[in-house]
Amino acid sequence: MRVLVVEDEKRLAGGLKKGLEAEGFAVDVALTGTDGLWMAREHDYDVQILDIMLPGVNGFQICSTLRKEGVWTPILMLTAKDGELDEAEALDSGADDYLTKPFSYVVLIARLRALLRRGARERPAVLESGTLRLDPAARRCWREETELRLTAREMSLLEFMIRHNDEVLSKREILDHVWDYDFEGDPNIVEVYVKHLRSKIDRPFGLETIKTVRGSGYRLSSDER
Ligand code: CA
């Protein structure tokens, strides 16, 4: 089994190489994101371990780039304990699993073996609502053939709404799923984001697919009239 390790901390990278080789893996190490992406494209790995903060291209970018290019090698991402970039983002970018630093080798090996048993997953289905399409793994979205430029939060909001197409969603439900469970800010932030979304997915196309349901919340409708 061939594994690519993309990690810029030399000691950790060296330790990983040694440890994994002792377990019978063939290990290639890249010390920058740029090298890591190049190696991932050039060679066929059974599994990859990606650090997030890397010189050149970061781990999220490597992961989402590979997924966009149709590379579905299982990826385990290493997240920092106090990193501002969290585990959800690792999974959003198309990683299959994550491990928080510092981690134990026993756990790392177990996770890798689990990923290898599972194998490369199928490309997740593209979500649709009427002429709207959203690719959750690639984080891309289209209205008919036009690609829409959405921020990460707008994309998450739209993904949640498409997954609950034609259902009325309360602001609270939206907050709980799109923001953190412990979000303590102004719930009217939802209104602001719905407004942004409308200006991107509906208005330029003369549509009104996000309906306001008075006193209840919002509903994304696949019926575009
Ligand atoms: Ca790093």
From 118, 153, 183, give the residue that closes a domain.
118
Rounded to the nearest 5°, which phi and psi values hold at 32? -130, 160
Answer whether residue 8 is part of any domain. yes
**pLDDT at residue number 225:** 59
Distance CA 13, CA 35 (A): 14
For residue 59, give the nearest of 83, 88, 79, 45 by alpha carbon: 79
Between the CA of 80 and the centroid of ligand 1 the distance, in Å, is 9
Between the CA of 99 and the centroid of ligand 1 the distance, in Å, is 13
Are residues 38 and 131 both part of a single domain? no
Are residues 154 and 181 both part of a single domain? yes
Between the CA of 48 and the centroid of ligand 1 the distance, in Å, is 15
Mean pLDDT of the chain: 88
Between the CA of 223 and the centroid of ligand 1 the distance, in Å, is 46
Between the CA of 74 and the centroid of ligand 1 the distance, in Å, is 20
Distance CA 173, CA 188 (A): 13
**pLDDT at residue number 41:** 92
**Mean pLDDT per 10-residue run, the chain (225 residues)?**
94 95 91 96 92 92 86 89 66 85 92 86 76 87 94 90 91 82 76 96 95 93 74
Between the CA of 59 and the centroid of ligand 1 the distance, in Å, is 9
- Residue 56, both tokens: 């050149």
Provide the domain count of the chain: 2
For the chain, helix (H) and strand (E) counts, in that order, are: 8, 12
Are residues 38 and 134 both part of a single domain? no
Are residues 61 and 112 both part of a single domain? yes
- Residue 193, both tokens: 């984001």
Between the CA of 6 and the centroid of ligand 1 the distance, in Å, is 9
Answer whether residue 100 is part of any domain. yes
Between the CA of 73 and the centroid of ligand 1 the distance, in Å, is 21
- 44 Cβ neighbours under 8 A, 6+ residues apart: 2, 73
Which domain does 190 fall in, by range? 127-220
Are residues 114 and 194 both part of a single domain? no
From 59, 89, 118, give the residue that closes a domain.
118
Say which CATH number the domain at 164 has: 1.10.10.10
Between the CA of 72 and the centroid of ligand 1 the distance, in Å, is 23
Distance CA 95, CA 168 (A): 31
pLDDT in tens, 43-57: 889 899 999 999 999
**pLDDT at residue number 179:** 78
Answer whether residue 225 is part of any domain. no
Between the CA of 75 and the centroid of ligand 1 the distance, in Å, is 16
pTM of the model as a whole: 0.58
Say which CATH number the domain at 53 has: 3.40.50.2300
Between the CA of 1 and the centroid of ligand 1 the distance, in Å, is 24
**pLDDT at residue number 83:** 59
For 46, other C-beta atoms within 10 Å of its C-beta total: 17
Are residues 111 and 16 both part of a single domain? yes
